[in-house]
Amino acid sequence: MDHFLYRDGILHAEDVPLPGIAAEVGTPFYVYSTATLTRHYTLFKEALEGLPNLVCYAMKSNSNQAVIKVLADLGAGMDVVSGGEYLRARAAGVPGARIVFSGIGKTAEEMRLTLEGGIRQFNVESEPELEVLSQVAVSLGKTAPITIRVNPDVDARTHAKIATGKSENKFGIPIARAREVYALAARLPGLQIVGIDVHIGSQLTDLAPFEAAYLKTVELTRMLRADGHDIRRLDLGGGLGIPYERSNTAPPLPTEYGALIKRITGDLDVEVEIEPGRLISGNAGLMVAGLIYVKHGEGRDFLILDAAMNDLIRPAMYDAHHDIIPVIEPEPGVEQAPYDIVGPVCESGDTFTKQRHMPPLDAGDLLAFRSAGAYGAVMSSEYNTRPLIPEVLVKGDHFAVIRPRPTFDDIINRDIVPEWL
């Protein structure tokens, strides 16, 4: 459930009519609902009730500081994947003790930054990374708490570009080699083993791959404990999918996911961490675009929007589906016609969808892309010198711009033309 509903025929974000926001900030823009963010985070907390746990929001999915603050104020931890994300989380008020640092390419500089600033744990993904982290920790006179990310060789049955748990993927240490690598970690100075980490992919719509990966992780926990390691945390990653297509069957609910985790890890006496991103932020956001032209082409018609692939790249990059609905509710039973819905960028990949049935629309109408709160604004760029679009946060009947649209001057003045040219 989200808080984007038609009221009196006008699409609202919570209690705010979207045309009002469009009039104030212009189109296109992203809009997020505080109530939806809160609800999704709370669903995970409730699902894990009874187990010691920390829900670490994967802030790569939407890292606006206002969004982070909504979640941090509820007690959320953060999963960060760069020094920049770490500093952003800290700037939004998240204590270091609630931040886990994931990613296969942490630099020594990022390790220094986070160790000095305070960090809950590093999820380490390779032997060379273990060695560098050990050196950095020793040089600072600190101890780095670590888990090692294991690759369980499980097929997440999701889009190939976002599957991470197969042996051919670049992530983690093959689970078969885990004991050897934990032994190395135990020998290296400056490191303290605190647990195991596993993350098999994103937009999973089935619990079976989670179950397979978690069962292997539990088995490994017992083995590593028998080897004398103090495994007290399991970071079970993120990845639970969301219903992008309302008309399709729904992925499992956080309650079902939580029940699975409790069933599998319940008697291990561990603290569980999870790293959901998309399920918290995805359906908490819309992208709202204006219709520039209705173009009648050879055998097909196009809706040309003022938003483009640079603003929401998921359709171009993953062939992703986003429901697209008019901000003014169509009359019931109105006849629909197929359109290709496209942006103005000069490549054919700038197509949001092909032959989507839509009600009659005119230039100037507003369209909302659903499920755009995750991996939308964060993946946008200024390709074609199109300014990054603003982000707006709604709470009840008020809203605020939480990232303004840059001016053309802002963009153009960033370039430096060398004097010697």
Judged by beta carbon, residue 25 or residue 82, the one nearer ligand LLP is 82
Residue with tokens 């609910």: 253
> Buried b vs exposed e over 110-133: b needs ≥16 C-beta within 10 Å?
bbbbbbeeebbbbbbbbbebbebb
Binding segment (CB under 6 A) for ligand LLP, from list 113-121, 262-270, 277-285, 340-348? 277-285
Contact call for residue 276 and ligand LLP (CB under 6 A): yes
Binding segment (CB under 6 A) for ligand LLP, from list 18-26, 63-71, 195-203, 347-355? 195-203
Contact 88, 63 (CB under 8 A): yes
Contact call for residue 203 and ligand LLP (CB under 6 A): yes
Binding segment (CB under 6 A) for ligand LLP, from list 125-133, 270-278, 291-299, 402-410? 270-278
CA distance 393 to 404: 12
Q: How far is the CB of 171 from ligand LLP (least distance, A)?
A: 8
- Report the 3 state secondary structure along 66-105: HHHHHHHHCCCEEEECCHHHHHHHHHCCCCHHHEEECCCC
Among 28, 145, 165, 238, binds ligand LLP (CB under 6 A): 238
Binding segment (CB under 6 A) for ligand LLP, from list 39-47, 221-229, 276-284, 336-344? 276-284
Judged by beta carbon, residue 14 or residue 197, the one nearer ligand LLP is 197
Contact 237, 151 (CB under 8 A): no
Nearest alpha carbon to residue 125 among 145, 146, 148: 148
Contact call for residue 244 and ligand LLP (CB under 6 A): no
Among 40, 199, 322, 370, binds ligand LLP (CB under 6 A): 199
CA distance 178 to 163: 20
Among 51, 87, 140, 162, binds ligand LLP (CB under 6 A): 162
Contact call for residue 202 and ligand LLP (CB under 6 A): yes
Cα–Cα distances in angstroms (integers) from residue 90 to residues 37, 80, 256, 416, in the given order: 19, 11, 32, 31
Cβ burial of 142 (10 Å; 0-12, 13-18, 19+) is middle
Q: Which of residues 74-93 bind ligand LLP (CB under 6 A)?
A: 79
Judged by beta carbon, residue 121 or residue 203, the one nearer ligand LLP is 203
CB atoms under 10 Å from CB of 397, counted, come to 10
Among 145, 209, 237, 315, binds ligand LLP (CB under 6 A): 237
Binding segment (CB under 6 A) for ligand LLP, from list 234-242, 243-251, 298-306, 365-373? 234-242
Residues belonging to the active site: 346
Contact call for residue 61 and ligand LLP (CB under 6 A): yes
CA distance 278 to 60: 9
Contact call for residue 318 and ligand LLP (CB under 6 A): yes
Those residues whose C-beta lies under 8 Å from the C-beta of residue 24, and which sit 6 or more positions away, are: none
Q: Which of residues 94-133 bind ligand LLP (CB under 6 A)?
A: 102
Q: How far is the CB of 385 from ligand LLP (least distance, A)?
A: 24
Enumerate binding residues for ligand LLP (CB under 6 A). 58, 61, 79, 102, 162, 199, 202-203, 237-239, 275-279, 314, 318, 374-375
